A = this chain, B = another copy of it.
Amino acid sequence: MFENLFAVGGLSLDRLKSFVEVAEQGAIARVADGDPSRQSLISRQIGELEAFFGAELTRRKGKGLELTEAGRELARQVRLQFHGLTDFKADCARQPVEFRMAAGNSILEWLLAPAMARIVLSAEGSTFVLSGQRTGDVVRGLLDHTLDFGIVRKSAIVPPLKFRPIGKLRYALFVPKSLSALADRDLSKVPLALSVGGNFLETFQIAAKQAKQELNIVSRCTSFTLAAQLLRSGVAAAVLPSIAAPFLPSVAKPRPLSILASISRDLGIAWHRRLMDIRPRSTDLLEALANGLSVDLQKA
């Protein structure tokens, strides 16, 4: 039935594994980790795969290499297959199945991480690897199956990703106690920390201009979590997702800010269309995630 695959040698799990690792790391050197034998082995293995498939899988780029289109396709395929076998094995051994989830740092810290306690309970027999990444990287990870689930805004979704909304992410102004009085008097004087991560800053500034709201932006942070640190130290107020509130109770109270009312994002769970087929357990996990996360987002 699969004569074409095995009529000639050249295909082996080890070679495919090496290739996927190179695809992952982007360089043989990183996979070989300084070991010159391993470097030569991997280089040869990729060559053997190329001979087997009759196509270039990598090409040289500068000192290193990059995958060809065929190479990326093969890496996707094989990653998927290895996941399938890994899960099957874990299932057989009644071992936990590992899922990899990612979100922006602020979502991760203030939404996903706190909800994990609940999620872990309703996802018996699964373990999780959480990572904070920029939205673009999350989407890329979902596309090439290095991630299983991502929590992202709806507008970031591209086919063949699927999306399940968990609620609207709103923003609020958090003013530390030290600046509370000043904020009551004249909001435009309050030193403000903003995040320049993602596309939030632009959106915010456009809204501010339209509302003719003067603002004293003293600090631009690379993430909301960093802005929250400035807030904690009392040097500045910050515009943060409202879900940060439970983590700053003694520091600041969120205040609705008129220009923020119009800024909100449909947040949800994203995954690859094929995920449920390849990893059957992910169906249940999706439910657990949706339940666990919706609750928190509604509260905020």
A92 touches B5 (CB 8 A): no
Residue of B nearest to A50 (CB): B92
Kindly state whether residue A273 has any CB partner on chain B within 8 Å: yes
Kindly state whether residue A211 has any CB partner on chain B within 8 Å: no
In the bound complex, what is the Cα–Cα distance between A89 and B70 (angstroms)? Answer: 10
Residue of B nearest to A53 (CB): B92
Oligomer copy total: 2
A5 touches B277 (CB 8 A): no
B5 touches A85 (CB 8 A): yes
Q: Which residue from B20, B82, B274 sits with its C-beta under 8 Å from A277?
A: B274
Kindly state whether residue A117 has any CB partner on chain B within 8 Å: no
A17 touches B13 (CB 8 A): no
Indicate whether A84 sits within 8 Å of B77 (C-beta atoms), given known contacts A274-B277, A277-B274.
Answer: yes
Contacts of A216 in B (CB 8 A): none
Residue of B nearest to A52 (CB): B89
A5 touches B89 (CB 8 A): yes
Contacts of A203 in B (CB 8 A): none
In the bound complex, what is the Cα–Cα distance between A2 and B2 (angstroms)? Answer: 25
Kindly state whether residue A81 has any CB partner on chain B within 8 Å: yes
In the bound complex, what is the Cα–Cα distance between A89 and B54 (angstroms)? Answer: 8
- Minimum C-beta distance from A148 to chain B (A): 13
Cβ contacts A51-93/B at 8 Å (1 or 0 each): 0111100000000000000100110010011101110111111
Indicate whether A86 sits within 8 Å of B5 (C-beta atoms), given known contacts A54-B92, A81-B81.
Answer: yes
Contacts of A92 in B (CB 8 A): 53-55, 70
A1 touches B13 (CB 8 A): no
B84 touches A4 (CB 8 A): no
- Minimum C-beta distance from A244 to chain B (A): 33
Kindly state whether residue A298 has any CB partner on chain B within 8 Å: no
In the bound complex, what is the Cα–Cα distance between A1 and B22 (angstroms)? Answer: 11
Contacts of A2 in B (CB 8 A): 17, 20, 82, 86
Kindly state whether residue A24 has any CB partner on chain B within 8 Å: yes
B6 touches A17 (CB 8 A): yes
Indicate whether A77 sits within 8 Å of B85 (C-beta atoms), given known contacts A12-B13, A17-B2.
Answer: yes
B53 touches A93 (CB 8 A): yes
Cβ contacts A255-283/B at 8 Å (1 or 0 each): 00000000000000000011001000000
Contacts of A73 in B (CB 8 A): 88
Kindly state whether residue A21 has any CB partner on chain B within 8 Å: yes
Residue of B nearest to A24 (CB): B1
Contacts of A54 in B (CB 8 A): 89, 92-93
A11 touches B11 (CB 8 A): no
Cβ contacts A25-63/B at 8 Å (1 or 0 each): 000000000000000000000000000111100000000
- Minimum C-beta distance from A126 to chain B (A): 14
- The chain A residues found within 8 Å of chain B, CB to CB, are 1-2, 4-6, 11-14, 17, 20-21, 24, 52-55, 70, 73-74, 77, 80-82, 84-86, 88-93, 273-274, 277
